[in-house]
């Protein structure tokens, strides 16, 4: 346990005035200007008066030190500040957006990039990040899908653990550790119709089976903070949700860290229509267990009145302040408030190790969606026409949460391709802008297409079109990019399409007509080099889709773990669960992703085939590289419980394994499962295992037809309640 403040937290609490206590619960923002963060004189005065306990958007060793010095030396009690920022996928060195990085299906990588981000953030004087974002989402209209680990709760839970470990390290007091925040609790990914900030109304079962597990995993990993989502859940805003924040998070899960509101979310309880004034909003949030008010100014403006009215007790305020002081102690701030940032920053994103990690992460995030007749890798074409508004758009490679990342430090696609194909002439034209209507530059781009051996079309979204407040009712190609693509395809040259976006883009016609298509998301600092490596063949793609890729908006929400229904889709039977105008299947299933080589899976072995509740199950499958190139295959392990007291999903992910194989080489992957993996939430939402048969399905994606299947019988006499 790190040292407490002199005399301990309790003595400090005793010594505090009500204003000072409320100050500790108040988190405000510094100013983020073009040239970086800055603090105003008013903000410094408020720190001096003890009216601010934490700040966001302030970094840099000198600046953070000078502001911290005011808190430590010029306030009555000398309590240090917590300095926070949104470090989602890198601070100076920018890694792929979380959705992209999830496509790597590699927990070790997720942890390493969080570690590297924490090192840079801490070296810049930061203590707390508002990450990882753990909202399972099945709706690409929602812009924040870019920040999320995709559609699957099992993967999101692994992501939660890896990121928490990576940010916090093994010792939160260390000079390179930052406290993590699991956000946005919970079910924000299920906003109505994908519309940002809209109401959420999911069943208790979905909540406990799908949306809460990643948060529970983060808590089990020791995450320091949780941020409730902006939204209401069936009418109860998350910032005032007693039954989830107190009963589930604090009591059931034993979470003793801080709960920090989202931006102005406490004040917005008035707008939600559950509080009639700011004092009541403050009371509702505090009573639900929200310790820190981020930019709502609700605690500073309303808590004293709420206390006078008897809507909160001093003990509620003390409990929140105690948790904030404990966070400061856990971070080692009472011991040495200047430990982070004291070595000078790691700015400039020039550090070789972190750049090479960013390149590795970017390579692993790229998903090869299609490769007709093995067009890729490109070999050595004489002339490549690189066309499209995203080909030279470094800023848009950074994604929506780029922290201190700078466009000047990003390798653009055009630069990366020139480096990767030194023997080819790369000619470039944007053709159109990302969003504008102007078509005047299109003819020049078509001329280039005519003159080339192969065309690489780099299309997609601006960074600002995903992330917060970036819902798109039609998540397809914005502006006139569709016209550009159609005309370039009309030229008749082989076409590779790079889709640079924060979400699956719904352009089935383009994917159908192009020869090769890659999802390159927003890959960060090393975007261009990673794309260059894939197109030239020096990296054989390994990325897999962490979300089902819909054919059309009408299929949303779409995810692999659907239930079978009483009338499963049957093309020969009209009265079954399907559309009359669209397929039921996504364009690409969860887990889809091609390689330049070919793998075959065979000989699924599951042992034993009759299992006692206490036993382990071993699942093994052979994998052969049948192509001409070394590569890495990803193998997914799914479970299906065909008969249970509650209808179970068609598939539930229970494991992911990777295997690297030389051409012609054979190997096998092995998973172990315990009977706990066969458990589910029974009719009363209590976990239990029911006897009977289970199907074990193993394959390269969630596409049913590609899965190998074995059956195992669980021989328990009765239901086992866990
Ligand atoms: C976002 C959070 C973020 C916070 C602070 C909010 O608008 O929803 O994800 O952590 O701002 O920047």
Protein residue whose Cα sits closest to atom 2 of ligand 1: 262
Q: What is the pLDDT of residue 162?
A: 99
| Cα-to-centroid distance, 244 and ligand 1 (Å) | 20
Edge-first strand listing for the sheet containing 666-674? 599-607, 616-625, 666-674
Question: Ligand 1, closest atom to CA 230?
Answer: 8
Partner residues linked to 425 by β-bridges: 383
Q: For the chain, what percent of residues have pLDDT higher than 90?
A: 93
Protein residue whose Cα sits closest to atom 8 of ligand 1: 262
Which among 538, 514, 397 is positioned nearest to 454, based on CA atoms?
Answer: 514
| Cα-to-centroid distance, 28 and ligand 1 (Å) | 12
Lowest mean pLDDT across 96-100, 254-258, 555-559, 691-695: 691-695
Q: Give pLDDT tens digits for 343-362.
A: 777 765 568 999 999 999 99
Protein residue whose Cα sits closest to atom 6 of ligand 1: 263
Protein residue whose Cα sits closest to atom 11 of ligand 1: 263
Protein residue whose Cα sits closest to atom 5 of ligand 1: 263
Q: For the chain, what percent of residues have pLDDT higher than 70?
A: 98
What is the sign of the dihedral through the CA atoms of 97, 99, 105 and 106? positive
Protein residue whose Cα sits closest to atom 4 of ligand 1: 263
User: How much is the average pLDDT of 193-209?
Assistant: 98
Question: Ligand 1, closest atom to CA 184?
Answer: 9
Q: Give pLDDT tens digits for 661-671.
A: 999 999 999 99
Q: What is the pLDDT of residue 722?
A: 66
What does the block give as tokens for 129? 């990040």
Q: At what angle do helices 41-48 and 61-74 cross, to 10 degrees?
A: 40
What does the block give as tokens for 548? 């089902």
Residues with C-beta less than 6 Å from any ligand 1 atom: 56, 86, 130, 183, 262-263, 468
Q: Most distant CA pair in the chain: distance in Å? A: 78
Q: Give pLDDT tens digits for 430-448.
A: 999 999 999 999 999 999 9
- Residue 577 pLDDT > 50: yes
Question: Ligand 1, closest atom to CA 147?
Answer: 9
What does the block give as tokens for 535? 């197109």
* Alpha-carbon gap, residue 59 to 341, rounded angstroms: 9
User: How much is the average pLDDT of 231-248?
Assistant: 98
Question: Ligand 1, closest atom to CA 229?
Answer: 8
CB 178 within 8 A of CB 7: no
Instruction: Indicate the top mutation candidate among 130, 137, 261 to test ligand 1's pocket, ranked by most ligand atoms within 8 A of CB.
Output: 130
Candidate list 106, 135, 176, 262, residue with the active-site label: 262
CB 178 within 8 A of CB 121: yes
Question: Ligand 1, closest atom to CA 133?
Answer: 9
Q: What is the pLDDT of residue 3?
A: 52
What is the sign of the dihedral through the CA atoms of 321, 327, 333 and 337? negative
- Which one is predicted more confidently, 689 or 6? 689
* Alpha-carbon gap, residue 664 to 629, rounded angstroms: 9
- Secondary structure of residue 348 in the 3-state scheme: helix
Q: What is the pLDDT of residue 715?
A: 77
Protein residue whose Cα sits closest to atom 7 of ligand 1: 263
| Cα-to-centroid distance, 85 and ligand 1 (Å) | 9
Question: Ligand 1, closest atom to CA 295?
Answer: 5
Q: What is the pLDDT of residue 613?
A: 78
| Cα-to-centroid distance, 128 and ligand 1 (Å) | 13
What is the sign of the dihedral through the CA atoms of 445, 451, 457 and 462? negative
Q: What is the pLDDT of residue 33?
A: 84
* Alpha-carbon gap, residue 349 to 586, rounded angstroms: 39
- Secondary structure of residue 575 in the 3-state scheme: coil
E-strand ranges in 12-169 read: 26-29, 31-33, 36-38, 54-56, 82-85, 128-129
C-beta atoms surrounding 181 within 10 Å = 28
Q: What is the pLDDT of residue 610?
A: 87
Q: What is the pLDDT of residue 597?
A: 98
- Residue 714 pLDDT > 90: no
- Secondary structure of residue 187 in the 3-state scheme: coil
* Alpha-carbon gap, residue 603 to 479, rounded angstroms: 49
262 is catalytic: yes
| Cα-to-centroid distance, 225 and ligand 1 (Å) | 14
User: How much is the average pLDDT of 591-596?
Assistant: 98
| Cα-to-centroid distance, 58 and ligand 1 (Å) | 15
User: How much is the average pLDDT of 492-507?
Assistant: 98
Instruction: Indicate the top mutation candidate among 82, 148, 262, 401 to test ligand 1's pocket, ranked by most ligand atoms within 8 A of CB.
Output: 262
What does the block give as tokens for 295? 């930019």
Instruction: Indicate the top mutation candidate among 238, 468, 469, 471 to test ligand 1's pocket, ranked by most ligand atoms within 8 A of CB.
Output: 468
What does the block give as tokens for 501? 């976006």
CB 392 within 8 A of CB 428: yes
Angle at 202 between CA 200 and CA 203, to 5 degrees: 155
Helix (H) or strand (E) holding 415: helix 413-420
| Cα-to-centroid distance, 201 and ligand 1 (Å) | 22
Q: How confident is the model at residue 718 (pLDDT cuts 50, 70, 90)?
A: low
Protein residue whose Cα sits closest to atom 12 of ligand 1: 86
What does the block give as tokens for 717? 């006499």
Instruction: Name the DSSP letter for residue 470.
Output: -
Question: Ligand 1, closest atom to CA 57?
Answer: 12
Which among 186, 164, 189, 168 is positioned nearest to 177, based on CA atoms?
Answer: 168
Instruction: Indicate the top mutation candidate among 86, 258, 259, 399 to test ligand 1's pocket, ranked by most ligand atoms within 8 A of CB.
Output: 86
| Cα-to-centroid distance, 262 and ligand 1 (Å) | 6
C-alpha distances in Å from residue 685, one per residue of 206, 207, 433:
10, 10, 51
Q: What is the pLDDT of residue 25?
A: 98
Q: Give pLDDT tens digits for 284-334.
A: 999 999 999 999 999 999 999 999 999 999 999 999 999 999 999 999 999
Instruction: Name the DSSP letter for residue 209.
Output: I
CB 291 within 8 A of CB 227: no
Q: What is the pLDDT of residue 215?
A: 98
| Cα-to-centroid distance, 239 and ligand 1 (Å) | 14
* Contacting residues for 529 by C-beta, under 8 A, at least 6 apart: 359, 362, 411, 416, 419, 420
Protein residue whose Cα sits closest to atom 10 of ligand 1: 130
Q: How confident is the model at residue 13 (pLDDT cuts 50, 70, 90)?
A: very high
- Residue 1 pLDDT > 50: no
* Alpha-carbon gap, residue 101 to 149, rounded angstroms: 8
Q: What is the pLDDT of residue 486?
A: 98
User: How much is the average pLDDT of 533-562?
Assistant: 98
């Amino acid at each position: 346990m790190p040292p407490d403040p002199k005399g301990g937290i309790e003595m400090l609490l005793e010594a505090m005035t009500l204003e000072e206590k409320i100050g500790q619960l108040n988190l405000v923002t510094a100013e983020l200007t073009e040239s970086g963060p800055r603090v105003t004189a008013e903000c410094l005065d408020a720190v001096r008066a003890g009216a601010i306990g934490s700040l966001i958007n302030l970094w840099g060793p000198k600046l953070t030190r000078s502001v911290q010095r005011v808190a430590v030396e010029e306030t009555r009690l000398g309590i240090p500040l917590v300095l926070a920022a949104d470090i989602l996928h890198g601070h100076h060195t920018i890694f792929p957006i979380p959705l992209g990085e999830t496509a790597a299906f590699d927990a070790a990588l997720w942890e390493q990039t969080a570690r590297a981000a924490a090192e840079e953030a801490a070296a810049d004087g930061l203590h707390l990040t508002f990450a990882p974002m753990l909202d399972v989402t099945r709706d690409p209209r929602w812009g924040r899908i870019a920040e999320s680990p995709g559609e699957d709760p099992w993967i999101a839970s692994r992501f939660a653990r890896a990121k928490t470990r990576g940010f916090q390290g093994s010792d939160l007091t260390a000079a390179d550790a930052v406290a993590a925040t699991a956000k946005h609790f919970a079910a924000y990914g299920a906003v109505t119709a994908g519309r940002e900030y809209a109401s959420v109304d999911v069943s208790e079962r979905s909540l406990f089976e799908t949306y809460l597990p990643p948060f529970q995993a983060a808590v089990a990993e020791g995450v320091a903070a949780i941020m409730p989502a902006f939204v209401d859940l069936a009418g109860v805003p998350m910032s005032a949700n007693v039954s989830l924040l107190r009963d589930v998070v604090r009591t059931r899960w034993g979470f003793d860290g801080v709960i920090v509101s989202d931006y102005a979310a406490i004040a917005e309880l008035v707008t939600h229509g559950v509080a009639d004034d700011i004092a009541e909003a403050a009371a509702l949030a505090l009573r639900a267990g929200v310790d820190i008010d981020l930019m709502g100014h609700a605690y500073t403006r309303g808590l004293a009145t709420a206390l006078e009215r008897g809507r909160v007790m001093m003990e509620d305020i003390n409990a929140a302040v105690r948790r904030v002081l404990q966070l400061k102690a856990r971070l080692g701030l009472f011991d040495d408030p200047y430990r982070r940032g004291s070595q000078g920053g790691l700015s400039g994103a020039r550090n070789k190790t972190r750049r090479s990690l960013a390149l590795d992460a970017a390579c692993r995030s790229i998903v090869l969606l299609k490769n007709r007749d093995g067009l890729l890798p490109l070999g050595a074409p004489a002339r490549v026409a690189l066309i499209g508004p995203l080909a030279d758009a470094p800023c848009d490679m950074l994604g929506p949460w780029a922290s201190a990342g700078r466009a000047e430090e990003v390798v653009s696609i055009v630069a990366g391709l020139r480096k990767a194909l030194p023997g080819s002439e790369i000619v470039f034209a944007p053709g159109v802008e990302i969003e504008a209507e102007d078509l005047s530059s299109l003819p020049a781009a078509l001329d280039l297409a005519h003159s080339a051996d192969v065309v690489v079309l780099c299309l997609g979204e601006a960074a600002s079109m995903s992330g917060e407040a970036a819902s798109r009712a039609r998540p397809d190609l914005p502006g006139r990019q569709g016209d550009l693509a159609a005309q370039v395809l009309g030229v008749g040259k082989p076409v590779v399409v790079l889709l640079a976006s924060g979400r699956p883009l719904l352009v089935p016609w383009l994917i159908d007509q192009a020869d090769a298509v890659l999802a390159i998301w927003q890959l960060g600092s090393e975007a261009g080099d990673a794309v260059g490596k894939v197109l030239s063949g020096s990296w054989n793609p390994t990325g897999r889709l962490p979300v089902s890729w819909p054919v059309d908006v009408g299929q949303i929400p779409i995810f692999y773990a659907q239930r079978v229904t009483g009338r499963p889709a049957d093309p020969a039977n009209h009265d079954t669960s399907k559309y009359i105008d669209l397929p039921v299947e996504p364009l690409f299933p969860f887990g889809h992703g091609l390689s330049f080589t070919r793998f075959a899976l065979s000989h699924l072995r599951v042992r034993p085939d009759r299992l006692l509740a206490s036993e382990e199950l071993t699942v093994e499958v052979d994998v052969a590289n049948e192509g001409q190139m070394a590569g890495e295959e990803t193998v997914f392990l799914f479970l299906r419980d065909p008969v249970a007291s509650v209808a179970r999903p068609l598939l539930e992910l229970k494991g992911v394994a990777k295997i690297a194989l030389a051409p012609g080489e054979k190997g096998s992957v092995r998973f172990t499962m315990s009977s706990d993996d066969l458990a589910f939430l029974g009719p009363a939402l209590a976990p239990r295992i029911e006897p009977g048969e289970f199907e074990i399905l193993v394959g390269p994606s969630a596409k049913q037809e590609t899965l190998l299947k074995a059956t195992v019988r669980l021989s328990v006499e009765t239901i086992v309640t866990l």
